[in-house]
Structure 1
Amino acid sequence: MASDDVAIPGSRTAYVLERLRADLRNGLINPGDQLRQVELARRYGVSATPVREALRVLEADGMIDYHTHRGATVRDYTPQMATDLYRMRAEMESLAVTVAMERMTPEVLAGIRVANEELLAATDSAASSAELSRLNKALHFAIYQATSPVMIECIEMLWSRFTPSVTLWSVSGFTTELRHDHEAILSAIEDGDAERASRAMHEHIMHACDLRATHAALRPAGPVSDAAGDGSPQAP
């Protein structure tokens, strides 16, 4: 059982929700998969009640659907739905960069630099897709730390809708292109040019949108070993 080595916290529903989200992120559960309460309860070592409650939370978050005869299934986004999500991300995150530039502090800027160096080191060392995705997300959210909790929460929601993520890291030349995009964003931030930074972020996200549309047959960036449930592969 995947959760044998994990201590179950006070809220069993929260525990199941954490494990489900981790398994979705890691590609252990895929789009279109049927989620059977009995099997999940056995897998996570709990009763059916917290599983049922956790599934309701995921349904409210738009990550699963309920069907009359099939029960709960992981939502499988159409190409058009994925494009719409990317467009929302591009608008929201380019705005977040503008806001971050207005509120930038030396501490946040230092965190952005560290996050970028960690991602660069990982790409140089041929790290796993899951690790690269985690570090890519860390860099994005290091920038958004200068915004506000409500803005970060909205962006987190949009990122979560790409679960489980389709990895673009295996696409030839993608890492080089991503580094180029990030360099454009970070150069503008370092120069204090909010308009250029916002535009670079918008172009970066839509670039990823175009790549995903071109490589729609790619599969999730997982599974990965994550006994603690901390890994979070995400598409750029």
Structure 2
Amino acid sequence: MASETEPLRPPQSRTAYVVERLKEDLANGLIQPGETIKQTVLAKRYGVSPTPVREALRMLESDGAITYLPHRGASVREMAPDAAVDLYRMRASAEGTATEMAVERMTPSGLALIEEQHVALNKAREKGASSAKLSQLNRSLHFTIYAQSSPLVVEYLELLWTRFTPSTTIWTGEHSGDLNDDHEAIMDAIRKGDAKRAGALMSEHILRASRIRAQDPSVRAEGTHTDMET
């Protein structure tokens, strides 16, 4: 068993395990912006000691997802509206490129996994699943696509997604139809092997999400953190 103070060596490192679990909980909204993160609670949830939790929080703080406040401990950072727009622009460029690369390197098994995630999201939407559930399935679909590019690309995109953890998802009844239409167009391009079109459609899809957040007060970013520095 690897020491908790040794460099990350998946899957032995408990710190790496906690980092991944924290990223999932942040992305899925299980930990809300502004919410104080209790290390003892997370340690119990993840089945580890407080030490890897503490180290994981420090790593996420350096990534910009977590902030430490005097006498309050760790909490989830949410960006100000202008910074959120900047981040979405970065995501649009990066995720468009990742999708293009994914189509260029697509395998039959990879396409089958993407189709599976696409169907799961559609079925959940048809059954009236919660917006939080739809958001979770949306993330799974996106990263199943990006996983066909390269681990380096996925690692970078995970960082971008972790940097912005809004308190409200845009996968509501009002917006989910347009977002779903985007997915259908992206999937059509992926199936046809049209890498350029799939990438362009993905980029526009991310920009649509940005416009939704900017224009709809109910889902607009409300944080005060405007810097993008780590």
Residue 21 (structure 1) shift: 4.3
Residue 197, structure 1, aligned to residue 208, structure 2: no
Larger displacement relative to structure 2 (174-183 or 136-145): 136-145
- The CA distance in 2 between the partners of 1:110 and 1:18, in whole Å, is 25
1:15/1:73 CA distance change after superposition, 3 Å: same
> Shift in Å at residue 82 of structure 1?
0.9
Q: Structure 1 residue 179 and structure 2 residue 180: aligned?
A: yes
CA drift at 1:14: 5.2
Q: 2:68 corresponds to which residue?
A: 66
Tell me which amino acid in the other structure corresponds to 1:61.
D
2:139 paired residue number: 137
Q: Distance in 1 between matches of 2:28 and 2:146?
A: 24
Counterpart amino acid of residue 40 in structure 1 = Q
Residues 57/132 of structure 1: CA separation in 2 closer, same or farther (3 Å cut)? same
CA distance in 1, matches of 2:190, 2:196: 10
For each residue in 1:124-148, what CA deviation from the matched residue of structure 2 results, as whole angstroms up to 9, or x when unmatched?
Answer: 1111222212221222122222211
Residue by residue over 1:4-38, the C-alpha shift from the partner in whole angstroms, topping out at 9 and shown as x without a partner, is: xxxxx986655655665455345453323344xxx
Identity over aligned residues, as a percent?
52
In the aligned structure 2, how far is the partner of 1:28 from the partner of 1:145?
24
TM-score, normalising length from structure 2? 0.77
1:64, distance to aligned residue in structure 2 (A):
1.6
Q: Compute the displacement of 1:73 (Å).
A: 3.4
C-alpha RMSD of matched pairs (Å): 2.8
Task: Please give the alpha-carbon distance, in whole angstroms, between the structure 2 residues aligned to 1:114 and 1:42.
Answer: 34
Q: What displacement does 1:217 show? A: 3.3
Seen in structure 2, the aligned counterparts of structure 1 residues 181 and 75 have a Cα distance that, compared at 3 Å, is: same
**Could you report, residue by residue, the CA deviation over 1:71-98 in whole angstroms, capped at 9, with x for unpaired residues?**
4332120011111111111101110111
Q: Which runs of 5+ in 2 are unaligned?
A: 1-10, 222-230
Secondary structure of 1:147's aligned partner: coil
- What TM-score do the two structures reach when normalised by structure 1? 0.75
Is this contact kept in 2: 1:181–1:204, CA < 8 A? yes
CA change 1:100–1:17 in 2 (3 A) is closer
Give the aligned residue type for 1:150: L
